[in-house]
Amino acid sequence: MTIQWFPGHMAKAKREVQEKLKLVDFVIELVDARAPFSSQNPMLHQILNQKPKMYVLMKSDLADPAYTAKWLNYYKEKNIPAVAVDVSKKQDIEQVISSAKEMSKEKMERLKRKGIRPRPARAMIIGIPNVGKSTLINRLAQRKIAKTGDRPGVTTAQQWIKVKKDFELLDTPGILWPKFEDEIVGLRLAAIGTIKDQILPTEEVALFILNYLTENYYSSLQTRFQVEEEYADVHQLMEAIGHLRGCIETGGHINLEKTADVIIRDLRDGKIGRITLESPE
């Protein structure tokens, strides 16, 4: 199944990214640490061409640390700068700044050799919706500049932001690509809240989550939902969770939509545990 999704403001944002790219020295792409591959934007990769780039793995406090280490090693092997960030930790914010300085070091030295007074390094910060871009920018700038929210699409225009004297950031709206050819990519992004909940049926997303957790994090699943027995399939498991959580309608039927909301919200909030939905392998 191909999932279509491309509102008009995202098409406009894509054009603006193309136009402003020549103004920056490098690009900082934010991805979600729980799905670093699925949350990269392949459409932006075509636009960025040869621009130097670093990755910031956001929401690392919600991701499985063992998998985060694997992802950082994967980028290191490809010679791509990457850092994992929990925005509540000052040392993680400082690591982003020091990595950004390193990215611009060569260019600044080139300007010095030419007798040109070095200017602040300029970076474009990009990422898909709801990856935590506005929160990171506010932490980098040490003041509230960008709007934040727990839903996709809060940032709607580009703006320049000074980060100390070290570099300037060009903020951009979160941009999704026109369609997800791979259904699993769409389901991962729906699970972590990147695409609006209306795009995919919540029950389908919850069943995907349960299937993945059963195969990879079964003890965390059991602990969170107090599921004691094993079930033949994830549909039965979902019904059991609905029963345990009191998602019951008149007549004793399980309200599957309400149950699905519980499962999805618990995953997004980290209540099931620190979960990563894909590995570099």
Residue 39 in tokens: 């949350």
pLDDT attached to residue 33: 98
Is residue 67 assigned to a domain? yes
Same domain, 163 and 29: yes
Same domain, 57 and 139: yes
pLDDT attached to residue 274: 98
4 against 114, higher pLDDT: 114
User: Across 121-125, 136-140, 197-201, 266-270, which has the greatest mean pLDDT?
Assistant: 266-270
pLDDT one-digit tens code per residue, 216-261: 999 999 999 998 877 878 999 999 999 999 999 988 899 999 999 9
The pTM of this model reads 0.87
Strands 167-171 and 159-163, how do they pair? antiparallel
Residue 54 β-bridge partners: 28
Same domain, 238 and 151: no
Same domain, 14 and 132: yes
Measured torsion, CA atoms of residues 39, 44, 49, 50, in degrees rounded to the nearest 10 = -40
Same domain, 47 and 112: yes
pLDDT attached to residue 178: 56
∠ Cα 84 118 24 (to 5°)? 50
pLDDT at residue 151 is higher than 90? no
What is the Cα–Cα distance from 181 to 68, expressed in whole angstroms? Answer: 25
Give how many domains the chain has, as a whole number: 2
What is the Cα–Cα distance from 214 to 20, expressed in whole angstroms? Answer: 45
pLDDT classification of 158: cutoffs 50, 70, 90 = low
37 against 144, higher pLDDT: 37
Same domain, 125 and 240: no
Is residue 54 assigned to a domain? yes
The CATH number of residue 28's host domain is 3.40.50.300
Q: What is the mean pLDDT of the chain?
A: 85
The CATH number of residue 257's host domain is 1.10.1580.10
pLDDT attached to residue 153: 46
Q: CB 262: neighbour CB atoms within 10 A?
A: 20
Is residue 152 assigned to a domain? yes
Domain that holds residue 205: 201-268
| Mean pLDDT confidence for 176-195 | 81
Q: Which residues are CB-contacts of 100 (< 8 A; sequence separation ≥ 6)?
A: 26, 28, 54, 121, 123, 163, 166, 167
What is the Cα–Cα distance from 183 to 94, expressed in whole angstroms? Answer: 36
Same domain, 175 and 221: no
Pick from 51-60, 90-99, 102-111, 127-136: least confident: 102-111
pLDDT at residue 13 is higher than 80? no
What is the Cα–Cα distance from 128 to 34, expressed in whole angstroms? Answer: 14
What is the Cα–Cα distance from 163 to 68, expressed in whole angstroms? Answer: 26
pLDDT attached to residue 113: 85
| Mean pLDDT confidence for 190-216 | 91
pLDDT attached to residue 225: 94
pLDDT classification of 273: cutoffs 50, 70, 90 = very high
Is residue 185 assigned to a domain? no
7 against 190, higher pLDDT: 190
Same domain, 114 and 232: no
pLDDT attached to residue 203: 96
